Structure formats: C-alpha cells, structure tokens
C-alpha cells in the first residue's frame, strides 16, 4: 500500500486485520490533523476510509485488484470521497455520519469483531484413543473462548452445521456489538452474504444484567432478561447486542442452525415456555425442564432449544442417559456458583459424561462453558452443586423428544 500525506508517498505493508487507528498512527505528521483517507476502488469511485471495516474493505480491494493500493490522507476540512458504510445508513441518530454512540446496527458494524473456529466430527472408532487434552480440544468450548468482551466468538461445528457462540457487550461498544463484522479481515466459513441469509438464531441471556437485541430490519429492540431468549429468524441482515447496564454487562449465549423458512423474531420467557418437572429425589436428579423454542411456543425452521434447572440438593441431569444418532446437541452450563457451599477455596465443577455408551469419558467443566456432543454419543452430567444448562438440538427430527435410544446405566462402561 502507498499512502500519500501532503504530497509525500509512504509505502507500507499492512496485515488484513490492521486497524484504522494503527494506520493513522503510522503516518502521523506533526501539525497535520488527519480525519480519514481516500482511495480509488475497482469501479473508479473515490472511497473514504474512516473505520476498521472501511480499511478491511480497502485492503481486500487492493488484494483483489492485484496491485499496490494508493490512499491519500485527508485533513478534517478537506473533501474526500464516498462513505462506503454511511452511504447506506438511513438511521436518524447519525444521519449517515456514524457518530459515536449511534445505536443503529449499520453503525455498530464498524466497531465489532467476529471470529470463527471450525471443528469436524470425530469418529466413534477414534474416540477411545483420546486423552484429556484431545477430548477438550475436540468437544469443549472454554469460557475464555466463548464469553469475550465486545467480540462475538463462534464455533462452527460440521455436525449438522450447528453454530455456537457468545459475547459480553460492554461500555467499550456504545453502539452495541454486531452479530457479524469483517473488522478482522477474516473470511466466514458460512460463505453467505450475511450471517442469517440461510440461518436462524437464538440469543440466550445466561449471566450479568439485562440485554437488548436490536434487529434493525424489523425495527425491533427486544429486551432479554436472565434465563430468557430471543429467536431471530432467517433473512435479518442487521442484528446487534447491547447491555442495558454496562456496569453489569450481559453474558449472551448464541446458537444457530440452518433454516429453510423465515419466522418472526420473538422473546421467549419461562412463563411462555412449556415446563415440566422430571427426575427423583432419591436419584438426586429433580429438575425443571423448560422447552423454549418448539412448535406451539416459538416457531422455528429446525432449531430446538430450552433450559433445564437442577433443583437444590440435586446434581444429575439426563440420567438415565440416551443417545440420538439423527441429531446433534450442544450444552451450555451456567448459574453454577463459583465456590462450593461452605467453602472459600474449593471451586464447583461439572462432570460432563460423553462418548459411545461402552467407551464413555468425562469432561470437567466450569460455569458458562459449552460442549458439542457428536450424534450417537451419550450426554449427561453431575455437578458438585446444582446448576442450570441450555440444551440445543439440530438435525433430523429435532422436535420429537421420544426419538432417542435409551441407555440402561448398567450397560455404561
């Protein structure tokens, strides 16, 4: 890239994830206040660069054109070119200027970060050879990768194309955190024009304070409290996340599946969900099961999700356990107290059991960690204290809860 500052050209190499601030800093000249840069795109238009997203697009253009891209630094009073992102911005808050603090999803897209990790299915034949490290690499989504401040972090599983992610919107993102952003210059494994082009999404609030889910396409701002979720249908292009009280930022858990039909966005609470009590006191497994996104409560194309809350004094979930070879299930454990009852040092953990019934293994998990279970594997757990978890299913026949293969605990190995 060549950058012109007051007639002087400077040649520099920038990585695809370079920030706008780093570019300004690298060409800073005493007495020259730079506001933005301009370049000529592949259609001959002069385009302004004012943000990380603008710079990522400029670098992509230069790469696609196979030549050194020339950019000209502009002072605050100088005329530039066309604002790439503001040109399509119709919000009344910023009127196309992308002013700081604007809450519209188009403006928020300039400030966010989205990352993807891809994982492939494991074979039941290979599973018995996994050591602890391999187990955790293959199946666990640890808290430090799932719940990041102002960064939407996704795991793309090739099991039924299930996508699992999380984000903690903070005061550092006054315009909210967008569902997707190109600010890291990273290609999305979805290969779609936008995240929900052929997908649907459920946003769960699993910690912290309340959050707002803003769907700009339908002009909806949906407030979601702890233990509640928002369904966002296929086709919505601009979705962003905001903590209502940034002093107590919300912890949002995101799950997404392929969709084949568009359905309306909807808030679902425990009062809306289909609830039932299952388990026994003798088996230390009494729990409240809430079905949130199922037919009759909230219509979806295929995603099926809900919440299970383990009663005080109980520790087990999904015991006796089962398998279902025709669909994938993801678990997110939450509301697990940090310290064990009566202790100031010992920490609570959850022992998640998984694998083929005769070759089972365990994962020790912490609060707000997730696991994706390969089809045909058992999935159940016991905690050192009671807890809650979000379960999500995708695949064939996801709404038929009787479509599973019961496993007698006496047959487990």
Question: Do the beta carbons of residue 108 and residue 240 sit within 8 Å?
Answer: yes
Q: From 63, 84, 105, give the residue that closes a domain.
A: 84
Tokens found for residue 39: 């370049």
Q: How far apart are CA 206 and CA 204, in angstroms?
A: 6
Domain match, 47 and 155 both: no
Domain match, 260 and 356 both: yes
Domain match, 80 and 117 both: no
Whether the pTM exceeds 0.75: the reply is: no
Within-domain flag for 234: yes
Domain that holds residue 33: 2-84
The counts of H helices and E strands in the chain are 5, 30
Rounded mean pLDDT, 369-377 = 88
The predicted structure's pLDDT at residue 325 = 76
CA torsion 229→233→237→239, rounded to 10°?
-10
Q: How confident is the model at residue 52 (pLDDT cuts 50, 70, 90)?
A: confident
CATH code of the domain containing 17: 3.10.20.90
The residue ranking higher by pLDDT, 189 or 263, is 263
Task: Give the tens place of pLDDT for each residue, 100-151.
Answer: 444 444 454 445 578 888 898 888 889 899 999 999 999 999 999 999 999 9
The fraction of the chain above a pLDDT of 70, given in percent, is 80
Q: How far apart are CA 289 and CA 334, in angstroms?
A: 15
Q: How far apart are CA 114 and CA 117, in angstroms?
A: 10
Which of the residue ranges 37-51, 62-76, 176-190, 234-248 has the most confident prediction, judged by mean pLDDT? 234-248
CB-facing half-sphere around the CA of 17: CA atoms within 13 A: 8
Within-domain flag for 102: no
Within-domain flag for 47: yes
Domain match, 69 and 128 both: no
Please report which residue ranges of 7-80 form alpha helices under DSSP H. Answer: 20-26, 52-65
Rounded mean pLDDT, 309-337 = 90
Q: How far apart are CA 379 and CA 365, in angstroms?
A: 13
Domain match, 237 and 344 both: yes
Domain match, 77 and 157 both: no
Domain match, 65 and 134 both: no
Query: Lowest-pLDDT range, 5-19, 211-225, 261-275?
Result: 5-19
Please report which residue ranges of 242-363 form alpha helices under DSSP H. Answer: none
3-state secondary structure of 65: helix
Domain match, 51 and 125 both: no
Domain match, 59 and 124 both: no
How far is CA 273 from each of CA 308, 375, 412, rounded to the nearest angstrom? 11, 26, 33
Question: Do the beta carbons of residue 375 and residue 159 sit within 8 Å?
Answer: yes
Q: ∠ CA 321-324-328 to the nearest 5 degrees?
A: 110
Any idea how long the chain is? 413
* pLDDT higher than threshold 50 for residue 206: yes
Domain match, 162 and 17 both: no
Q: What secondary structure letter does DSSP report for 105?
A: H
Q: How far apart are CA 263 and CA 265, in angstroms?
A: 7
Task: Count CB-CB contacts under 10 A for residue 354.
Answer: 22
Within-domain flag for 96: no
Closest CA to 139 of 394, 352, 300: 352
Within-domain flag for 95: no
Task: Give the tens place of pLDDT for each residue, 233-274.
Answer: 999 999 999 999 989 999 999 999 999 999 999 999 999 999
Average pLDDT, the chain: 83
* pLDDT higher than threshold 70 for residue 14: yes
* pLDDT higher than threshold 50 for residue 93: no
Listing from the earlier edge strand, what are the strands of the sheet with 2-5? 8-11, 2-5, 70-75, 34-40, 46-49, 82-83
Within-domain flag for 108: no
Within-domain flag for 258: yes
The predicted structure's pLDDT at residue 187 = 59
- Counted domains in the chain: 2
Within-domain flag for 105: no
Rounded mean pLDDT, 357-377 = 91
Question: Do the beta carbons of residue 243 and residue 150 sit within 8 Å?
Answer: no
Domain match, 70 and 183 both: no
Task: Give the tens place of pLDDT for each residue, 160-169.
Answer: 899 999 999 9
CATH code of the domain containing 266: 2.60.120.10
The predicted structure's pLDDT at residue 4 = 59
Task: Count CB-CB contacts under 10 A for residue 345.
Answer: 6
The predicted structure's pLDDT at residue 97 = 46
Q: From 84, 101, 132, give the residue that closes a domain.
A: 84
Domain match, 214 and 142 both: yes
Query: Lowest-pLDDT range, 49-53, 177-181, 307-311, 404-408?
Result: 49-53
User: b/e for 164-185, b at 16 or more Cβ within 10 A?
Assistant: bbbbbbbeebbbbbbbbbbbbb
């Amino acid at each position: 890239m060549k950058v012109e500052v007051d007639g002087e050209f400077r040649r520099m190499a920038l990585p695809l994830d370079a920030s706008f601030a780093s570019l300004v800093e690298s060409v800073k000249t005493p007495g020259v206040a730079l506001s933005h840069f301009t370049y000529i795109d592949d259609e001959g238009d002069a385009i302004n660069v004012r943000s990380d997203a603008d710079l990522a697009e400029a670098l992509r253009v230069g790469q696609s054109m196979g030549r050194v891209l020339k950019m000209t630094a502009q002072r605050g009073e100088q005329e530039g070119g066309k604002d790439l992102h503001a040109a399509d911005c119709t919000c009344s808050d910023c009127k196309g200027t992308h002013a700081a603090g604007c809450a519209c999803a188009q403006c928020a897209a300039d400030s966010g970060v989205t990352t993807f990790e891809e994982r492939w299915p494991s074979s039941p034949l290979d599973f018995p050879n996994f050591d602890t490290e391999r187990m955790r690499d293959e199946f666990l989504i640890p808290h430090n990768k799932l719940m990041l401040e102002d960064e939407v972090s996704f795991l793309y599983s090739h099991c039924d194309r299930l996508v699992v992610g999380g984000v903690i919107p903070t005061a550092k993102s006054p315009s909210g955190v967008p569902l997707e952003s190109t600010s890291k210059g990273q290609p999305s494994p979805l290969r779609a024009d936008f995240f929900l082009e052929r997908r649907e999404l459920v946003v769960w609030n699993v910690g912290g304070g309340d959050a707002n889910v803003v769907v700009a396409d339908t002009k909806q701002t949906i407030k979601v409290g702890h233990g509640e979720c928002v369904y966002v249908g296929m086709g919505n292009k601009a979705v962003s996340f905001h903590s209502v009280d940034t002093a107590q930022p919300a912890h949002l858990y995101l799950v997404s599946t392929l969709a084949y039909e568009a359905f309306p966005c909807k808030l679902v609470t425990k009062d809306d969900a289909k609830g039932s009590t299952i388990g026994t006191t003798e088996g230390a497994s009494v729990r409240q099961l809430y079905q949130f996104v199922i037919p009759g409560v909230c219509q979806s194309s295929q995603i099926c999700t809900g919440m299970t809350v383990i009663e005080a004094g109980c520790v087990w979930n999904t015991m006796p356990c089962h398998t279902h070879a025709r669909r994938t299930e993801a678990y997110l454990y939450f509301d697990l107290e940090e310290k064990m009852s009566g202790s100031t040092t010992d920490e609570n953990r959850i022992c998640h059991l998984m694998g083929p019934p005769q070759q089972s293994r365990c994962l020790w998990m912490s609060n707000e960690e997730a696991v994706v279970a390969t089809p045909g594997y058992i999935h159940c757990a016991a905690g050192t204290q009671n807890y809650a978890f979000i379960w999500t299913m995708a695949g064939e026949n996801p709404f038929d809860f009787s479509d599973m293969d019961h496993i007698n605990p006496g047959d487990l190995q």
